[in-house]
Each structure stands twice: as C-alpha cells, then as structure tokens.
Amino acid sequence: MLFLLNFWHHTSYDIRAIPWFIDLTGDDVSITAPGAQIQRRESMTILGGEFRQIGVVHSPYREKEDAPFQGKHTNDVSTLEVFEDYEPALLDIEHCSHLVVLYWQDKASRSVLQTRTPWGPEIHGVFATRSPNRPNPVGLCVVELMERNGRLLKVRGMDALDGSPLIDIKPYSSQVDSVQDSCIGWHKKRDLKTET
C-alpha cells in the first residue's frame, strides 16, 4: 500500500517542496530528507486528512543511543520551538505546569511490528510497548514546562531527538490523564520474576 505525503518547506526553514512516498508493505522507510538539516515540514496528507508540523524539538540528544528510555528519567532541558504561524495557540500555556508533547520519530523504523524491550529478552508486539519503532512512529512525552519565551518553551523530561518534528502540545492534567492502578501486564510479570 503506497501513500503520498507532501511536506512543504517555507519561511525561515525553506528548502523545497518534497513529495514523500511511504510504502507500508515494504522495507524500512525514513522520512528525513537526505542531507537536510532541521526543517519545517508544513503538512502531510495521510488518507485524505492533513497532518501539520507545528514546530521542532531542540534537545541534547543527537543520536538514538543518546536519548533516555523515558523522558521522566532525565533532568535534561530541551526547547520546543513553535513555528510563528502557530504562536497564537500558545496563549495561556505558561499557566500549565506540565505538557503532553506529541512528536514525529523520524529516525525510527516503520517496518518493525515486534520487538524486545530494555526490560527483558521477551518479544512483544510494538502496540504493547513504548518502542519508537512502529508503523506510525508518533512519540508522546509528558514534560515539565519550566519557562515560556515567546514561541520557545523550555521543558524538562523530553526524550525526543534533536530536530524531531513537533506535532502537537496539550496540557497535562493529573485529574484527567492519570489512571490510578494502571499497569502493563507483561511488565508487571517481569517485575515479579526479577524480585523472586
């Protein structure tokens, strides 16, 4: 199955308009332009809908090996740069202590359906894990908002690679987003095996 994705580069990130073809039945596909630096990918069309990049992540992690398994396990500081077109959407965001950040993991493999995790040798389906390698590599991270400076958000606890396309930002609410006693069954079993 072949999908055409259009990323339009303009403003200060202008390089060129590039059509991207994603073959979901083929081998691994990367959506990063060869030799390109941090770019603005204005939109991409998937199944008739439009998917817009709203900004870019600036983090200390250049390679996958540099990033933590989960952002909550690091105190490193990153910056979320929101593109000028979307600055009005940041109104009142400084009143949020934590944010849910969605980003595109453009160095992930889209052909992986099963994987091992850092917690053991067992194989699991990627939908039962937090692996970045998956058919649609959308990353999700809950971060602490430390400071807003115009279109720049200084955050702690980000696990995205430097240059990752920013997809969306939402306020995190412990009353809405936290599910008490939630668990990952296989992970819990693994913990029990470790303790015995």
Whether 171 shows a pLDDT value over 80: the answer reads yes
Contact assessment for residue 151 and residue 83, using Cβ atoms and an 8 Å cutoff: yes
Neighbours of 167 (CB within 10 A): 17
101, 177, 82: which is closest to 144 by C-alpha?
101
With 0-12 / 13-18 / 19 or more C-beta atoms within 10 angstroms meaning exposed / middle / buried, residue 56 is buried
pLDDT of residue 188: 61
85: Cβ–Cβ under 8 A, 6 or more apart, which residues? Answer: none
What would the DSSP string read from start to end of 74-140?
A: ---EEEEEE-GGGGGGGTTGGG-SEEEEEEE-TTS-SS--EEEETTEEEEEEGGGS--S-SSS-EEE
The 3-state DSSP class for residue 46 equals: strand
Residue 167, domain member (yes or no): yes
Domain membership of residue 195 (yes or no) is no
Residue 182 counted as domain residue: no
User: Are 124 and 115 a contacting pair, CB within 8 Å?
Assistant: yes
Is there a domain that residue 134 lies in? yes
Residue 191 lies in a domain: no
- Better-scored residue on pLDDT, 96 or 65: 96
Give the range of the structural domain holding residue 127, as residue numbers without chain letter.
2-176
Residues 6+ away with beta carbon under 8 Å from 88 = none
156 in Cβ contact with 77 (< 8 Å) = yes
CATH number of domain containing 24: 2.40.30.70
CA pair distance 145, 153, nearest whole angstrom: 7
Predicted confidence (pLDDT) per residue in 86-123, tens digit? 999 999 999 999 999 999 988 888 889 998 887 788 89
The model carries a pTM of 0.70
Number of domains in the chain: 1
Rounded mean pLDDT, 26-54: 55
pLDDT at 35 over 50: no
What is the pLDDT at residue 48?
64
In a domain, 184, yes or no: no
In which element (H, E) is residue 141 found?
strand 138-149
First to last CA, the chain: 47
Asked if the structure places residue 186 within a domain, the reply is: no
Kindly state whether residue 188 falls inside one of the protein's structural domains: no
